[in-house]
Every structure is written in C-alpha cells, then in structure tokens.
Structure 1
C-alpha cells in the first residue's frame, strides 16, 4: 500500500473527526464516497473508449461525480446534491442491485458544507484505474481501528497474495474459493493470473516469432466469450463481516464481475454450503479465536474450538480430488503441541500437503509481528511425492518495518522457482540462495508430533572435531555511526520506526523521525556498551542515546552467526561501565560460510522451539470462570490473616525467607534462592506455614501470590493468609492471582511513595464461595494446565542448553 493512500485517508479522517467522531461511521463515509467516485470513473473510462455511461445516466446524470466536483459549484449546493444522490442511489432501478444495496443505509450524518467540500477533495485523489486502492483503503481504515488485529485478521500484502497465486496456478476451468475473503485480494489476483495466462505472446515474444525466452513455443490462447462467461461464475468468497463483503463485492465488480459471488457467511459455524467443493482454495484466514472458542458443528474431521485449526480442516475437506490450495497460517499450526494441532498436521502430512514456505516475521507489519508460513496442498502431486518440501524465505523484497520500503533482497522469485521445479517432479536445487529441503513424510511422522518446521529437519554438518581459525574482532567487524541519537525523553509509545537502546528490551520506544534511521543492506548486531546486552536487527531502526555499538560484519562472517556467538558466550559485565574495549579483544571462530549457515539453521530450529515454549509460559495465567449462582462472601470471612512475627536477630542458623523478589508475577512460582541465614535479616518478619497464602500488598506486586509448601518467614510487605476449613487453599491461590481480584485490590491502593493496599480494604473484597467439589474440579483443571506449562519451561531449559553446547563446540580442538 503506498504512502499516498495512507496520507489521503488520514486527511479524510481528520476532516471528518469533528462531525463524525465514531471511527466506524468514518469508515462508512469514506468507503461510500470512494464507491461513488469509482462509479463515475467507470462511466468516464467507458466513454473515453467510445462506449456509453452505465451509472450516471437518465435521472442520475446530474449526480455524476464530475458534476458534483465542478469548481463553480458552492459547498452548500454540493452538499445538497451529495445528500440527494445517496438517497437516489438506493432507489434507482437503473443501478445494479449490488450498488442499490450498498447505498440503502448510506446517509450524510452532518450538515457542514465546508467539511463535505474538504472531505470530497481528499476522496478525489483515488482513481478507478487502480481498483485495488478501494480494498487497501478499507483495510487501512480497519488497521487504524485495530479491529483487524483483535480478530487475528491482518491485511495480506499484495506481493504475498501474488506469490501464493503463482504457486497454486489457478486455471480458467478451476472453481476458486476464498473462505475468509476479506476485501477479495486472493480472488482478484487469481482472476488477473488467469487473464495473463491467456493474453497471447508478449511484444518481445512476438519479435521472437511467438517463442518464449527458452525457445519453446508460446501456446497461450485468448479467452473466448464462453470462457469469460464461465470464469465469472467460478470465483466465490465468504466473509463473516458485512463491511468486508460489501468492499469485496465492489472490488470484484471493478474487475468486471457484474454479479460477484461474495457472500456474508460464517464459514466455521454455518453448514448451508458444506457440500460445495472447489478446485482451488486460497486463504489467509483469521488467526484468533473468540473468547470461549468457535461454536461450530460436527461435520469437521477435527473437533476443535480454534479458528486456525478449523479453517485448515475446512479447506482440506472442500477440495475436489485433484484440488489445490495455498493457506497462510500462524506458527502455532506448524509446531504447537495441542492434540487438535497435532492431528491436523498428521492429516496434512498424510493427505495433500506437499510444501511449507516459512515467511519472515515482519511480513504483516505494521499490523502485527505474527510469524507465518504458507501451506501448499495438491491432492494429485502429494500422491506422487513421498517428501514434503520446506522452503525458507528470509527476505520478501521489503524491509520488515512499519513503512515497508522496497529492498534489493527478495527470496520470493527463487522460492517460486524451487516450488515450480518440485511441482514438475524435477530435481530441486538452491535458487538465489533460498534454503530448501525435501523431507520424507516418514521422517516427519517418526516422533509423532508431525512438526512442520523445516529447520528441525536440517542435517547439520559434523563440525564437532573441526579446527576453525580464530580471528580478531577488528578483522571481521566494523561499527556503524548513527545519523542521530534520540534522547530518552523523545521515545514515543507508538510510531513508524523502532528505537533500540542498550536495555534488555528488544524495542525501547518508537519514533516518526525518518532522518534518525540506521540503514544497512545487511542485518546488524547491536551491543550495549554498559549493559553487554546483545540484539540482532534485520530492519532499519533509530538509536537511543545511551551507548550502543552497531556492529557490521564483513562477507566472511554471517551476522546471525556472530549474534548467536555473542549471545551465547557474552562479554562478562563488570558493572555499569563501558565494555566495548573488552569486546574488541574478543576472538571469533570463523568456520566456512556453509558451516556457519548450517549452524544458524540448527540454532534457529532450537530457537523456534524455545520461542514457542516461551509463548506458552509467558501467556499462561490461571483463569477461573465465575458462576453467578455461586455463593459469595467477604475475603475476611474465608481467609484468616496470620499475625505471627519473629525477630531474626534473636535466632541463628538457616531459614527459608521469601521477599517480593522471590515470587514470580502472575504464576506464583518461587524464583531465586530463598534460603539464607537469620543474621542476614535485620528486622521483624512474618511467619508462615505449609498451606498459607502469601500475598504481595505493594503495587506493582499485587499479582505476586504464593501457596506455601513449607515453613518459613517473609517480608512484612507480604500479607499471610490462612484458608478456613470450608475452602481449598489452591482454589483461592489461583483466585488471588486473577486479573479480576487485582482490579478489586487497586480500588483500595493508598500512598504516593510506596503505593500499597491495607488489610482493611482486602478483607472487604467479595469472593466467590463455590461448593468444595467444584473448587476441587477447578483446581484439578488448572493444575493440569500448570503441568503443561512447566513442561514447556523445562523444554526451554533443554534447548537453551543445546544452543550453548552447539556454540561451545566451535572452540573445541
């Protein structure tokens, strides 16, 4: 999407905001005006080609956009004409039914001629000769509202749509579906793809007597009128959002589909169209599931409440015997361990899947940083192939920042070449450095989780006994000086460009100052001079003014390989002082580039497992759905406050001491080493015993709650509760960790220097008191979830150790 579209949409919104403050209403006003403008553009194009107008004729002629925008017309007259036009459009029998339906609910909700005049000037920028602008504008408006991200819907960049379509290669006889069509991008791209296949030899080919560049004959045949008639009936799209359906219908109409088959239809919950089958299905379905999961029916082959699982299952079930599909999926589909995800991958491996293309994580920026892959299915090809092809796209031709600037690195053409060779049953070779790997289906099935991450199956070169030259830092690394350093007070919470400093945060803030960007043709490694923090960046960023070094490697050292070395064998910190001089004394092992690449692939595989497990660990919270029928009581009636204290200075020996720093927020795990000596503790402390609940009463530690399993003492900033007989301690542990309880506590916070909650407020908070049997059921469920989370935590430890071992082998003789 070009920046002019964003600029004119933003300007239109700014004009409207004073008279149409509701963002949803702003979307309606802008899209209605765009459709109005495009109707007139189509008439003008038809007349320039020697034809007749079809929209603004007869009674509607006076409402044509070109007349509406006549500079001799005053704004009051223009507003009157515009308001009349909206009403006439909804009633006029000469307009196609599609446009009558669109304008049925169209109104002008304000009466400011000046505002309308300014608004229509911004809309006048858009032109029917670029019909995709309508979909781009609509999706940009949704992104501003964040309604796409909330539903897990993210605008699919056009170059990714075109890549998927080129791989799947729909033909003029194929019946094509997008079951989550949004604004119709996949359908329009497929239509254009088919037209290009039948537009005859190009000018260059005609000069070569109709020959292709490789000397073969160009056998393209133009579409007959009968072909075009069938083609118009072969494209269908579903979407649950009526706004999306409306834009998709107009988008298709602008591409010559006079009766577009775009339906408002809940693909996952409705079954009226279940028996429909298609030759080609293309989709970027929503990634997020509604609260409580998707409500669906029993016709799916996998019973799940996850929308991403159900959409892939739906597509598999609706392909004809020789059907093909291209599906963009989140990384959870690739490796998540849930039973539904695992069963889906098993079904894919055994039936239809022939290739997985991994996309870079910034493809959907600025809407989301979600990591995605593309699944390619071909029921016929999969029967002939005993392997699944994995292709890794590291660069898609654009930087991974919010502005999506074109860059020279683009793996998509090479990836397409590899996939085409695989489809033709030819030997797959590396193309333009794109990493690909064909893995036997039997190997993928071996472990039983059917993991679809290509890095997992890379066969690493045995470098454990190799000797690699050790080179000095200055031999292979140089530094980049930033154009400007941004002071911390100028860090913004939002913006177009990330700011990187030497903190442990990947992104410290945001800026809109393009002149501050550090730009590099290759990725860079970032070193915190004072903190020794190490970061890796593949996109442009601004430097925070607090002492980072931007490191650029030469052609003998791959940046990511250098990053893994520094991250795994870091410079030892000597406190808050400069460490770059110490880093410059660093000796770096320098294997051949091929081996560096193999090591990166191995470590990326480990890191993807670590990242997936970290996502589970960091996002899990114990949750209790409160039944309004349960009895309720005050906290003070269910939990006794324990007031026993001890003076550590009067006792000797070791003691189990819990401070707020020892309780992990949100999970209630113990971190650090709580065992200490009494003489190290200087003041009175609270006493606790097994089964007591320890609750942190200082903000921001209100979600620090621990259920004691042994005797000990704790900080007086921690309240000790003892559960009464008619309650289960674990149940109230999880309840006190909940966001709802924290919200109740926040209403009683007092104190400016050290905000805290007092017992007098805590004891009055109303808590649910379900029967003991239900308390136990809830505890059992949460404990089962916690066990899975702990398994993921252990997985992180195992694979972090594998990373260390892999790097350590580089130093072995």
Structure 2
C-alpha cells in the first residue's frame, strides 16, 4: 500500500514538472518513466556487479561499459545541474548521451526497452532535471509492491481525457471485473486496447494475492513471465507507459503489440486467448476499408465500440471468457449493427451478465453512462438466462470530486455473481435479477436494464381540495395575527 510519504514525494515531483514548464500530464508521466528506467538500469548493473564479486566471475550482462560510467544514475545524480543536463543532451561519452544509452541498451532489463522508438527527452532546463532526479532518487522502491504502487499513483494523476473517447479506467472498476472473472492458472489474458495496461496489471496482482503458492512452481512462473499477458496498443506513448507499469509490477516480459487491433491485416490474431479484459475506445469511427475483413463479417459497422466486440469474439478461444466495458448505447442501439452484435453474442455464444453502472463512474474524465458485459465464446449458443445488476454506487461520490463514500455495490456484485444459483428467486424490483433468453429475444435483443427492471410506485394519498384550501386560509390568518403583534411591538 502506498504511504503518505511516497504520495507526497510523487506530488512534489509532479509539481516541479508543472512549474518547470512541462504541463501536459502524459508528457510528465513519460519523462518520469524514462528517469525511472534510467535509475533501474543502474540498479540492475549494481546487482550484477554484486553477484559477480560474490562468485568471482565477470559480469554476465554489462549495461554500462567502462567508458560509460558517467551515464549511470549513481554517477550523474551527484553532478552539478548543468553537467548533468549536458550528459542528457550532448553526446560525449562514447558518442552517446544518457538518453541515447537508455534507448540502445536493449531488452536486458525487460520489455520497456523494446518500445523506445520515438522517445524524446523533453525536460527543458538543467534546474528542473536536477530537481526531479534528486527527488526520484529519494523514493524508496525496493520491492515489487512499492514500485507498482508508486507508478499507479503517478498514473492516477492523469486528469484529462484522451482522444477518440480514450480515458483511464478507474482501478476499482478494473479490480471488480478481475474479481468477477477470477483469472485461472492456465489463462492467456489479453487487452486489445491496453492503454496503461491496468487490466493486465490487476490480473497479475490478483494472482499474487489469491494464489501466491502458484509462484513456487517453475512452470507457472515461466507461463506468467512470458505467455500469460498480451496487450495491444497503437499509441507509442501509451505502449511505453504500459510496458513500464507491467515491469514495475513484476511482469517483465509481457507480449506487447504496437498496432491497431482493428486494422486490416491483423486477422492472424484469432482463437488465441482464454480471457479478455478491456475498456475499448467509445467514440471512434473507422472506414470499412481500414477494418479487418473478418470483423466486418461479424458486425457491419464503423463504430469502434461495436467493432471491438466482434474483434474480441474472434480473438477468444472456444470457452474463452470476456469482460468488457461498453457505452450504454451498445445495449439498446437500434441500428442493424447494434442488433447484429447483440444477437451474435446472445444467440450464438453465452452472455453471462450485464452490470449497469452509474454515469458518474468515469468522472472527471467523462460523464458517459456505461455497462460491463460478461460473455463466453461457445459458437453453439448457451444463453439460458442473463444476470442483470443495477449498480447505483461504487464507493465514491458520482460528481467530479469522486470522494470516498460508504455506499458501494461492488462487494455485493462480486458475491452475487459467484452465487447465481441463489439469484433465481430475485424480483425484478431488486438491484439484481435473472432474465430468460426468450424475454431478451422478444425485446429485439435489447440489453438495457430499464427494459426489464420493474419499478414499484408507492401510493400517495392527498387531502381533499376543500381541506387544503381551508389549511391555506388558516395559515394566512395566523400570519395576519403575527403581523399585528409585530406592529404593536414596533410602536
């Protein structure tokens, strides 16, 4: 758990960037990430040196040659600001800068180094660089939990929405989805719109918390560190941020793919994953000729939120599960494409649940109303009944402040989802209930909870008009008497 001291340290670093002229939140995070990685390179080399000294053997993986010692964090952090800045911006040691070396070092310390193409050093002054380096150096990040918590807190400071409807998914919503699908030992997990890799990170944390004994098995560790996690992301900045997020949470070698998952030519990614968790872009629109043909056969649309559902069905293995956030329009949209993808999931596969979330869940990024769909790829149907839940509170106020509150439906949602047998007697006036396949089909595949939820209205009895009029007259008479008394007092 991140401490108040570490939060304060990160806050001060963020403020220094802001006052130093770097005001774009993503730029701040990216530059912060580079410096964390440069520090990590030196820490890795120091560890290799200690091992080599202990066994009396040469260093196995040399990250800094003898003439590159000034490029190490432990060296340049003690330089004066201008000298340090020159090491970052003016090639002198072996013809490279600290920043060049970071990009060229290769994959010796994890997946992050593979995504350095396009990385740019954007700290404008020696003074700001020195300030930030000294503050980062004071943050104690000895273990996986602390490293991950520091970076998650840094990412939580993004306060602006991205383009094309992209915005950061609240971590407690991600964790709710992970707790509901309960990642398994053999799962291959994918997020086709990975962003900062929050879903993959949360899945890894779930496994550490719920099944720590699995990590004692060599076969599972190898699976966890190489094949278990796949993220697809077309934005290079987000790809680097996601890679660092995964590394700092102890996932060193995830499969990260830098391309648009929907684009033509990506049809090779099919029947590959047993679990997909995602919050794909809501407001995007693509031309037909830019979309992979196999997806269009499943859902003829230009809307990214519908295309991603088709993509996920294609990417899942038979028996694979999916938990995905969608805008409310996906649930009740009346276009042919909306009905087509809903019918595909409900009739040809198995729709398990629909969680309707309040519109404030994504504030301050956006006020859009959303839901979470849970479905299983079968290819042969299997939807007998669908579980609906009307989430009304998520533990935070639903305004822009998103302050903590006691009202929270999430624990109830997770518990009930894993005990659906006890939901059979729930009424449609309750927060959760089951709806048979036949009812959904009869309603043209509509998945809006309001279509099935019943509202009970309390009968209100009013007095006769003559009685109400007399009450008004009595009040007027009382007011008249009070005014007379007031006049007497003022004489």
Q: TM-score range by the shorter chain?
A: 0.7 to 0.9
| Counterpart contact for 1:12–1:30, Cα < 8 Å | no
Which residue of structure 2 lines up, in the alignment, with residue 805 of structure 1? Answer: none
* Alpha carbons of structure 1 residues 91 and 49: separation in structure 2 relative to 1, 3 Å: closer
The aligned length equals 438
For 1:174-573, what aligned pairs fall within 5 Å after superposition?
174-200=187-213, 223-232=216-225, 233-272=227-266, 273-290=268-285, 295-300=290-295, 301-350=298-347, 351-379=349-377, 386-422=384-420, 425-427=421-423, 435-448=431-444, 450-461=445-456, 468=460
| Counterpart contact for 1:327–1:376, Cα < 8 Å | yes
- For the residue of structure 1 that corresponds to 2:293, the secondary structure is coil
* Alpha carbons of structure 1 residues 25 and 94: separation in structure 2 relative to 1, 3 Å: closer
Q: Extract unaligned runs of 5+ from structure 2.
A: 90-96, 464-474, 477-491
1:168 and 2:181 aligned: yes
Which residue of structure 2 lines up, in the alignment, with residue 29 of structure 1? Answer: 31
TM-score of the aligned structures, taking structure 2 as reference length: 0.77
Out of 124-133 and 355-364, give the one that drifted further: 124-133
For 1:118-129, what aligned pairs fall within 5 Å after superposition?
118-121=131-134, 123-124=136-137, 128=141, 129=146
| Counterpart contact for 1:38–1:127, Cα < 8 Å | no
Name the one with the larger strand percent: 1
Name the one with the larger helix percent: 2
Q: Which string of whole-angstrom CA distances, capped at 9 and with x for unpartnered residues, describes residues 46-86 of structure 1?
A: 9999999978665465544344434xx42223323444321
Which residue of structure 2 lines up, in the alignment, with residue 130 of structure 1? Answer: 147
For the pair shown, the structure with the greater C-alpha radius of gyration is 1
Aligned-partner Cα distance in 1 for 2:26–2:455: 53
Q: Which string of whole-angstrom CA distances, capped at 9 and with x for unpartnered residues, describes residues 436-461 of structure 1?
A: 0101111111132x211122212345
Alpha-carbon offset, residue 371 of structure 1: 0.9
Alpha-carbon offset, residue 16 of structure 1: 3.5
Q: Which string of whole-angstrom CA distances, capped at 9 and with x for unpartnered residues, describes residues 292-350 of structure 1?
A: 67831321211110000000111122222211110000111011211111111112221
| Counterpart contact for 2:426–2:433, Cα < 8 Å | no
* Alpha carbons of structure 1 residues 460 and 110: separation in structure 2 relative to 1, 3 Å: closer
* Alpha carbons of structure 1 residues 127 and 391: separation in structure 2 relative to 1, 3 Å: farther
Aligned-partner Cα distance in 1 for 2:357–2:433: 15
- For the residue of structure 2 that corresponds to 1:324, the secondary structure is strand
- For the residue of structure 1 that corresponds to 2:261, the secondary structure is coil
Aligned-partner Cα distance in 2 for 1:40–1:456: 59
| Counterpart contact for 1:86–1:106, Cα < 8 Å | no
* Alpha carbons of structure 1 residues 175 and 306: separation in structure 2 relative to 1, 3 Å: same
| Counterpart contact for 2:30–2:241, Cα < 8 Å | no
Which residue of structure 2 lines up, in the alignment, with residue 65 of structure 1? Answer: 73
Aligned-partner Cα distance in 2 for 1:192–1:93: 27
Aligned-partner Cα distance in 2 for 1:404–1:46: 45
Q: Which string of whole-angstrom CA distances, capped at 9 and with x for unpartnered residues, describes residues 595-636 of structure 1?
A: xxxxxxxxxxxxxxxxxxxxxxxxxxxxxxxxxxxxxxxxxx
Aligned-partner Cα distance in 2 for 1:414–1:21: 40
| Counterpart contact for 1:76–1:113, Cα < 8 Å | yes
| Counterpart contact for 1:294–1:307, Cα < 8 Å | no
Alpha-carbon offset, residue 104 of structure 1: 5.6
Alpha-carbon offset, residue 24 of structure 1: 6.9
Higher RCO, Cα 8 Å, sep 6+: 2
Q: Which string of whole-angstrom CA distances, capped at 9 and with x for unpartnered residues, describes residues 198-236 of structure 1?
A: 225xxxxxxxxxxxxxxxxxxxx5541111102221211
- For the residue of structure 1 that corresponds to 2:361, the secondary structure is coil
- For the residue of structure 2 that corresponds to 1:279, the secondary structure is strand
| Counterpart contact for 2:321–2:377, Cα < 8 Å | yes
* Alpha carbons of structure 1 residues 334 and 291: separation in structure 2 relative to 1, 3 Å: same
* Alpha carbons of structure 1 residues 55 and 140: separation in structure 2 relative to 1, 3 Å: farther
